[in-house]
């Protein structure tokens, strides 16, 4: 059997997508092993969840560095130290510069809560509601320098209901994100690292 791909998950917050990847990777046939979880916020609730699940969980606090490049060098160093081969961003709220993105080109993916290319950036559910859209959703995509601009790996559509609020829509989309991300990480790894 091919060795599993050493994968890092980058987070900034509660880590529900991160935990769905951790659970998927508990299956020995899953192509990724989750080798570490790194948060740019030391107080991210997801760090504790990852540690409880037995994962190497560390913080690289962006506020401890004078600029983005210094932060990204420290992040890259933590990834190299752990022989990481692939990165999944899951609610990671820092924009990555071309320096980092180029270093990890083809090995760096993200989940975004909209039907890309619609609604790059923040407040995606609110914008879908205000536009009167019939569908919201979530997308897993390759990370490139343009924020939320890379090729799409997989997407899930979620119907918008008449009485939806930002909160109700967000909750239904998140439920679908948790199914989507493990499938998309698997297909991203299989497509690049020869599955």
Give me the least distance between CB of 3 and ligand GRF, in Å please. 27
Minimum CB separation of residue 194 from ligand GRF in Å reads 28
Q: Quick check: 8 binds ligand GRF (CB under 6 A)?
A: no
- Crossing angle of helices 166-192 and 16-24, in 10° steps, is 40
Which value, in Å, is the radius of gyration of the alpha carbons in the chain? 16
148 is a contact residue toward ligand GRF (CB under 6 A):
no
Under 8 Å CB-to-CB from 77, ≥6 apart: which residues? none
Cβ-Cβ contacts under 8 Å for 48 (sequence gap 6 or more):
57
Among 58, 78, 144, 174, indicate the residue that binds ligand GRF (CB under 6 A). Answer: 174
**Contact in structure between 8 and 36 (CB atoms under 8 Å):** yes
Q: How far is the CB of 113 from ligand GRF (least distance, A)?
A: 4
Kindly identify the residues of this chain, within the stretch 31-70, that bind ligand GRF according to CB under 6 A: 46
Alpha carbon 70 to its chain's center: 22
Single out the residue of 8, 25, 39, 91 in contact with ligand GRF (rule: CB under 6 A): 91
Phi, psi of 83 (to 5 degrees): 55, 40
Candidates 6, 14, 82, 94; binder of ligand GRF (CB under 6 A) is 14
Site residues (vs ligand GRF, CB under 6 A): 11, 13-18, 46, 90-91, 111-113, 138, 174, 177
């Amino acid at each position: 059997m091919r060795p599993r791909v050493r994968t890092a998950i980058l987070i900034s917050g509660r880590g529900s997508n991160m935990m769905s990847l951790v659970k998927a990777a508990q299956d020995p046939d899953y192509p990724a092993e989750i080798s570490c979880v790194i948060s740019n916020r030391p107080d991210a609730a997801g760090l504790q969840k990852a540690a409880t699940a037995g994962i190497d969980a560390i913080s690289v606090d962006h506020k401890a560095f004078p600029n983005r490049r210094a932060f990204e060098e420290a992040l890259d160093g933590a990834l190299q130290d752990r022989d990481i081969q692939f990165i999944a961003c899951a609610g990671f709220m820092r924009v990555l510069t071309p320096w980092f993105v180029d270093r990890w080109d083809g090995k760096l993916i993200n989940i975004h809560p909209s039907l890309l290319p619609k609604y790059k950036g923040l407040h995606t559910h609110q914008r879908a509601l205000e536009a009167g859209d019939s569908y919201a959703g979530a997308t897993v995509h390759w990370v490139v320098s343009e924020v939320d601009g890379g090729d799409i790996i997989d997407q899930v559509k979620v119907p918008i209901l008449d009485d939806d609020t930002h909160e109700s829509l967000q909750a239904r989309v998140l439920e679908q994100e948790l199914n989507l991300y493990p499938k998309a990480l698997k297909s991203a790894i299989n497509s690049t690292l020869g599955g």
